[in-house]
Structures are given as structure tokens and as C-alpha cells.
């Protein structure tokens, strides 16, 4: 019996969830009964490979019942099985589900080949390439999201669909008082439930904060190595939704919900490299960043327009980029400047020196977000790129604007040779096709704006 099977038996668990993060960073998987666990640990657990062919509405984008399944890969034909292979190092017991464990999985085909669209595998590949260059990757996370009181879950048959009707919700606070203790106390009943359960998962919790907007919160997670930080993000996001839903709340990581007066949410990524000794490779003795840090910063600037398709992967996320909004608008960096896309923190001799990327939305797939940062940053390190001077007035800068739509970002991603090489052209084309299917569905919908603008006047 494997060590994990022994632990499950010793804890008296009845089931273990095998989960993997799909192309959107959403957890999917199966729950394995304890008596079947040892076989599942040995052989993996099959699942329909067509899950990797779906957009966010769960509509299959690729013709999986044709030759090559639209991927040019026979392994996907007929929605044939792929296999979840558990990573025992990710095992946890879920505090909110009695007698249930959880383990994150990597993806293989039955013939043993890695599934090329496994985003966790892509981050592992990027980290391995980084290690060959003599570096490690460290990340700390600031995640903004909304918590609402659930009024009507809308689970009637007529509410079903692809996607179904969103729930009806009410605010927990009226907001617009950043870090207000009284506003925080209005959120506290939900945050207390969340905090208690997340502590049981062993996540590196740092703070729970009242964010700027109505019913908006922020949680920060401590610094971890790259893969562990990405794993923590997918578990945090999924656990938050599950835990709060059981207590009558609705948590959403959608960037900008369509509710009156509600603010946008971002995901700020604090990142640094370590050298072979484990020291922070961004630290300089007399400057704000080392040569490595400056090159990494310049690489992020160089490829910002393309990498944003991976850090802001939804149509909705681009509604956040507004002037004077504490969200980035242009491809600029600054020294401790919250209006810049890239905010450099620390200084000479400071071991906490880091680059904060403020571009991301909380719905981003963390494996793709991190991998894109590594690929882009290291291009700048290898080419010894210069980031230029910091921007003092980021919203008044003449620098290039960030892409204003997912469509624009995907075009930049397709044309970026460095990201194509780092992530693989096959993956870039696959990812863009899924996202273009979402855009096509969006463009086919008649919006409230169109109806209001044209229905009466014409």
C-alpha cells in the first residue's frame, strides 16, 4: 500500500477527490471511494479528454468526433480517455467535507505521454527551463474578489443552460471605504467561515482585507515557490466558492460583475527569482534592482500586450483597465506606484525586493499566468534588455496602451515568437481557438446596450 493510501486509511477517510486544473484554471475531477484508492494511485483515473476542448460555457470547441479531433492528435479522437495522475505532495483533507481528501493531478494519455494542454505541466516545463538557467521562481499573491449574500440560487429547470442563469445576490457592505474596520466587520461573518476552513487547508494566509468596492474583499497569500503558489491559488479559488456557498454566500472571482456600483477586482502577482544559493536574484547592493531584475522587468514590458491574454483571459477582464482607477492602463513600470502595470518594491540590499504585476484578473489560470511571466521575463534577462526610467505619472504617460479587448490580446499572443517558443505553438493556437469561440458567442449576443441604443431611436 502506498504512503498516501496508508494516510487515507489511518485518517479514516471515505473518499478522495482527484482534481486537475483545466485550460481555464477551473478544477475538474472525480471522487474516488477509499477502497478503490490504491488502484487509482497505481493506474491513475480516466476522464473524457474532451474536457480540454471546452470554453467557459462548457461547449466543446473542437470537433472531437473527427479524425485528429481537431487537434491533429489521435489521442483526443472520440472524446477518448485521458488519465489523472495524482501528485501525492498536494494531498490535503478538506475541512468543509467530512471524511474527504483532495489531491491535485497531472495529466497523461493512456500510452503514458504527457497531455500537451495540461497547464500545470506547462508551468513545470517553464520552471525546469528556469532551473537550467540557474534560477527559481517565487510568488506572493493578492487576490481581490466579491462576496455576496445568496438570495436566489436560481436552480429551477428553466435556469439551466450553457451557461445557466447566475444567482440573485445582495451586498454584505455598501463599500467605498478601503480598509474600513466597520465595513470589514460587515464582511467578517463570511470571512470568519472562510478563514477557519482555509487555515485547515494549510494555505499560507497573510491577511483578510476590506477592499474598495461594495461587498469586495482581498486575501493575500505568503510567498511560495512557483508550483506551490499556483496550486495554492487554484485550491483557494475553488475552496472559497464551495465553502461560502454552503453557508448561504456567493463568492465570485469575475473581474467586474454587472451589478450597480460594484468595482473591478484584480489579482496582483508579486514575483522574484532566486539564484542557485536560494538568495533573491533581484537584490542589488546599490540599485533598486540587480541586472537580472532589470532584464526580467524589461522582458515583462516587452511582451505585455501578448502575455495579457494569459493573465486576463476573459472578455470581462478588459473592463478593468481604466484611467485613475488603481488598475493599469499602459505598459509602464514605476517605483512603488500603484498606477503602473509593473510596480517595483524594495531597494538596495532589501531581501524582499520584487516586481508586482498588477495586470492580472482573479479568474486567470495561475499556471499560465506564472509560465507567461517566466518566459517573458527570462527573454529580457537573456537579451539584457533595459526597462528604461520609471514612470512617475502612469495615466498621463505616452507609453503604449494595454490591449482594450481579449480579441486584441489574442492577436498579440499569436504574433509573439517568444511566447510561442516558450509555451509551444500548438498550445498557443489551441488556447486562442478556445478563447476565440468565447468571443464569437459574445459577439452573437444582443446586449443591453444595443437594445437601449437602437430599439427606440430607429
CATH 3.10.310.10 is the classification of domain 3-117: no
Distance CA 270, CA 351 (A): 13
Domain chopping of the chain, boundaries: 3-117, 126-446
State the Rg of the chain over Cα. Answer: 22
Query: What's the pLDDT score for residue 404?
Result: 94
Distance CA 190, CA 217 (A): 10
Q: Are 54 and 162 in contact (CB under 8 A)?
A: no
Length of the chain: 458
Query: What's the pLDDT score for residue 263?
Result: 92
Query: What's the pLDDT score for residue 252?
Result: 97
Query: What's the pLDDT score for residue 346?
Result: 93
- 382-390 long-range contacts, CB within 8 A, separation 24+: 382/295, 383/295, 383/299, 384/291, 384/295, 385/295, 385/298, 385/299, 385/302, 386/294, 386/298, 387/294, 387/297, 387/298, 387/301, 387/333, 388/298, 390/333, 390/334, 390/335, 390/337, 390/340, 390/344
Query: What's the pLDDT score for residue 163?
Result: 84
| Tens-digit pLDDT string for the chain (458 aa) | 478 889 999 999 999 999 999 999 999 999 999 999 999 999 999 999 999 999 999 999 999 999 999 999 999 999 999 999 999 999 999 999 989 999 999 999 999 999 999 999 999 999 999 999 999 999 999 999 999 999 999 899 988 888 888 999 999 998 788 878 888 899 999 999 999 999 999 999 999 998 889 999 999 999 999 999 999 999 999 999 999 999 999 999 999 999 998 999 999 999 999 999 999 999 999 999 999 999 999 999 999 999 999 999 999 999 998 888 888 999 999 999 999 999 999 999 999 999 999 999 999 999 999 999 999 999 999 999 999 999 999 999 999 999 999 999 999 999 999 999 999 999 999 999 999 999 999 999 998 989 899 988 89
Torsion, Cα 365 367 373 374, to 10 degrees, reads -170
CATH class given for the domain over 126-446: alpha beta
Amino acid at each position: 500500500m502506498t504512503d498516501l493510501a496508508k494516510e487515507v486509511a489511518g485518517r479514516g477517510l471515505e473518499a478522495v477527490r482527484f482534481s486537475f486544473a483545466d485550460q481555464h484554471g477551473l478544477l475538474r475531477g472525480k471522487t474516488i471511494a477509499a477502497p478503490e484508492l490504491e488502484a487509482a494511485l497505481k493506474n491513475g483515473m480516466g476522464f473524457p479528454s474532451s474536457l480540454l476542448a471546452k470554453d467557459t460555457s462548457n461547449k466543446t470547441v473542437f470537433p472531437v468526433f473527427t479524425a485528429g479531433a481537431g487537434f491533429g492528435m489521435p489521442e483526443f479522437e472520440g472524446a477518448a480517455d485521458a488519465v489523472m495522475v495524482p501528485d501525492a505532495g498536494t494531498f490535503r483533507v478538506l475541512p468543509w467535507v467530512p471524511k474527504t481528501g483532495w489531491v491535485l493531478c497531472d495529466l497523461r494519455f493512456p500510452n503514458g505521454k504527457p497531455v500537451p494542454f495540461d497547464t500545470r505541466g506547462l508551468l513545470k516545463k517553464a520552471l525546469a527551463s528556469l532551473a537550467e538557467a540557474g534560477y527559481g521562481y517565487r510568488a506572493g499573491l493578492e487576490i481581490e474578489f466579491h462576496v455576496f449574500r445568496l438570495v436566489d440560487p436560481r436552480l429551477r429547470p428553466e435556469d439551466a443552460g450553457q451557461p445557466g442563469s447566475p444567482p440573485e445576490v445582495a451586498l454584505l457592505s455598501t463599500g467605498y471605504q478601503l480598509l474600513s474596520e466597520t465595513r470589514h466587520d460587515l464582511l467578517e461573518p463570511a470571512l470568519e467561515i472562510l478563514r477557519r476552513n482555509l487555515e485547515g487547508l494549510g494555505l499560507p494566509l497573510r491577511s483578510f482585507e476590506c477592499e474598495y468596492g461594495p461587498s469586495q474583499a482581498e486575501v493575500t497569500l505568503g510567498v511560495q515557490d512557483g508550483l506551490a503558489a499556483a496550486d495554492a491559488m487554484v485550491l483557494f479559488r475553488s475552496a472559497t466558492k464551495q465553502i461560502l456557498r454552503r453557508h448561504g454566500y456567493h463568492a465570485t472571482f469575475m473581474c467586474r460583475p454587472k451589478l450597480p456600483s460594484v468595482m473591478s477586482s484584480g489579482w496582483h502577482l508579486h514575483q522574484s527569482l532566486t539564484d542557485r544559493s536560494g538568495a533573491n536574484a533581484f537584490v542589488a547592493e546599490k540599485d533598486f534592482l540587480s541586472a537580472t531584475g532589470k532584464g526580467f522587468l524589461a522582458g515583462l514590458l516587452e511582451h505585455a500586450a501578448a502575455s495579457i491574454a494569459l493573465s486576463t483571459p476573459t472578455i470581462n477582464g478588459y473592463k478593468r483597465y481604466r484611467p485613475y482607477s488603481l488598475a493599469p492602463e499602459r505598459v509602464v513600470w514605476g517605483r512603488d506606484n500603484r498606477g503602473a502595470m509593473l510596480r517595483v518594491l524594495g531597494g538596495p540590499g532589501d531581501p524582499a525586493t520584487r516586481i508586482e504585476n498588477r495586470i492580472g484578473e482573479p479568474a486567470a489560470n495561475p499556471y499560465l499566468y506564472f509560465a507567461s511571466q517566466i518566459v517573458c521575463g527570462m527573454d529580457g534577462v537573456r537579451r539584457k534588455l533595459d526597462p528604461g526610467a520609471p514612470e512617475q505619472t502612469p495615466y498621463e504617460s505616452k507609453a503604449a496602451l494595454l490591449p482594450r479587448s481579449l480579441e486584441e490580446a489574442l492577436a498579440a499572443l499569436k504574433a509573439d515568437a517568444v511566447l510561442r517558443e516558450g509555451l509551444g505553438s500548438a498550445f498557443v493556437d489551441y488556447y486562442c481557438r478556445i478563447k476565440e469561440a468565447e468571443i464569437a458567442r459574445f459577439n452573437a449576443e444582443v446586449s443591453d446596450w444595443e437594445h437601449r441604443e437602437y430599439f427606440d431611436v430607429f
